[in-house]
Structure 1
């Protein structure tokens, strides 16, 4: 396995300065934002696609520091019911897929998106209950008319360019659980897989180890984020896991994102790493920092230190004791 980071943490730094800092921490890989929600501070696909010299310089800057690019990320909502908003996310994703193909990067990470509840809707509608029956009718319409047709087309486009799509399982979007990921994968093909982030499993009440085993049996983990979540044992009974309060209201929230090791202990993280290897994922574990109690540098550094303890780096050997 390799240890990496989602470099949007360091968007305020020039690209090569960020690479130097990341390499100085002993990391092996970098995941780079290419627009939409993550922004494109370090990688503008439009510019790089138009200029081969810029592409070569971009790749060389990474290679020269002994790093690899684990994924390009363009998280957005290409199914947004407002067509112009959807188009901007869609166009950015297509450019990101094209750039990944040209650079030989294996995965593009994004969100599944979430449609509205009818053709003239203005805002996404995320049904989370089977009754009243209106919600089931909305969900059926979304999957049959929007989600499956769109992602079947995108999956084919990416497959032709030898790029996999890693959908981050995230609340508020249509694909947010192992089951919804597998439903889409069955319809759209194996190019679709998960960018699995355990932090989003914990707040939904899903054990990440079980999620890894469910998805891993199907070969459906394309990328992995390392981020933690802390559940407040009092506030969760007040607000529930679908707490809609701002992330800034940390004293009153039911849960909050934490850096690795500050929501769950290292035995839990060792179990997660072991589960990844068990199902055959021996690729990059990419740190994502969204901890409201720590600075970027401190949160990132602690995540690196904690993961270095449990990451399984060496290739498998024969079981000499068998």
Structure 2
């Protein structure tokens, strides 16, 4: 499970609960403690992380029978503000350093987008930005993985804010040395059958996120594909779909897990909880995580 859904808890508190709930691994959120994304889940002290911190973290996970599958810092690596972009890259490298110290193979992030410039410009810019980041990680035995989230809320008009949302863009980013943290929920709402994307890219899907998605009946007929335009107070509220925990949406998890196994996937399937029905309190979030575990556990080969 991705720890970002419980930003108010410490890693020790999350590990204790997750181990008891039957989870086997944590995808640990590693945002800085100030600035960045809205939830600011900072479950590892990235700045100043030393050998003692590494030993304590390993011991903590060991007590609860857990591994770390990846570290998570999902930010806009093509941010239009040069100063903010530099901050993001600096923190991303620090997260890579922590991954190396803990023998964690992956660090997850976004390609992102400069929303003031056309897509073609962004693709050119990414080819300048990412090789150095990929090389930095590679020298430390870490791979950078990209989630295929659309991040429409980053764009002023709700257009894609992360240029990694489709197989066309995956092929482009693979050429930069990036890998995929595959998530079926985002594919579902943009009209791509997630199961069909597994076999062609199986060798690049090294980590996967388990998040579901619910299409709200009749709402797309009012708002259209791009979602609310007139009263869109929340940039993430399209008005016609919402994220759900696995088992409460429209993703066919039997087909997803079967296709992953059939195509040789040996990585981690990590629950990403962004379900508004099971949010608002710590108790509700944990219940959502329990629902996800009950849904997926019978499908996973022991």
Question: Normalised by the shorter chain, which TM-score bucket?
Answer: 0.7 to 0.9
Per the alignment, residue 207 of structure 2 pairs with: 223
2:26 to 27, 30, 39: 30
- Deviation of the 1:280 alpha carbon: 1.3
- How many Å separate the matches in 2 of 1:64 and 1:6? 19
Per the alignment, residue 47 of structure 2 pairs with: 46
Q: The residue matched to 1:165 in structure 2 has which SS?
A: strand
- How many Å separate the matches in 1 of 2:62 and 2:233? 39
- Deviation of the 1:241 alpha carbon: 3.1
Q: The residue matched to 2:28 in structure 1 has which SS?
A: strand
CA RMSD for the aligned pairs?
Answer: 1.9
Q: The residue matched to 2:137 in structure 1 has which SS?
A: helix
Matched, 1:12 2:18: no
Deviations 1:155-184 (A, max 9, x none): 121111111111011112111112201112
Change beyond 3 A, Cα 1:41–1:140:
closer
Per the alignment, residue 269 of structure 2 pairs with: 285
Matched, 1:298 2:287: yes
- The TM-score with structure 1 as length reference comes to 0.82
Matched ranges for 1:1-322 at <5 A: 5-35=1-31, 36-37=36-37, 39-48=40-49, 51-117=50-116, 125=117, 138-144=118-124, 146-171=125-150, 172-186=161-175, 188-189=176-177, 192-216=178-202, 219-244=203-228, 245=232, 253-264=239-250, 268-294=252-278, 295-313=284-302
- Deviation of the 1:199 alpha carbon: 0.9
Q: How many pairs does the alignment contain?
A: 279
Gaps of 5+ in 2: 151-160, 279-283
Q: Is the 8 A contact 1:195 1:225 kept in 2?
A: yes
- How many Å separate the matches in 1 of 2:273 and 2:234? 14
- How many Å separate the matches in 2 of 1:238 and 1:249? 17
Q: Is the 8 A contact 2:79 2:113 kept in 1?
A: yes
- Deviation of the 1:111 alpha carbon: 0.6
Q: The residue matched to 2:47 in structure 1 has which SS?
A: helix
Q: The residue matched to 1:184 in structure 2 has which SS?
A: helix
- Bigger radius of gyration: 1
- Deviation of the 1:61 alpha carbon: 0.6
- How many Å separate the matches in 1 of 2:193 and 2:214? 13
Change beyond 3 A, Cα 1:199–1:59:
same
Deviations 1:34-87 (A, max 9, x none): 114363432121121xx2112210121112211100000001012111112111
- Deviation of the 1:116 alpha carbon: 4.1
- Deviation of the 1:248 alpha carbon: 9.7
Gaps of 5+ in 1: 118-124, 126-137, 314-322
User: Bigger shift: 299-308 or 168-177?
Assistant: 168-177
- How many Å separate the matches in 2 of 1:116 and 1:201? 21
Q: Is the 8 A contact 1:241 1:255 kept in 2?
A: no
Q: Is the 8 A contact 2:6 2:41 kept in 1?
A: no
- Deviation of the 1:25 alpha carbon: 0.8
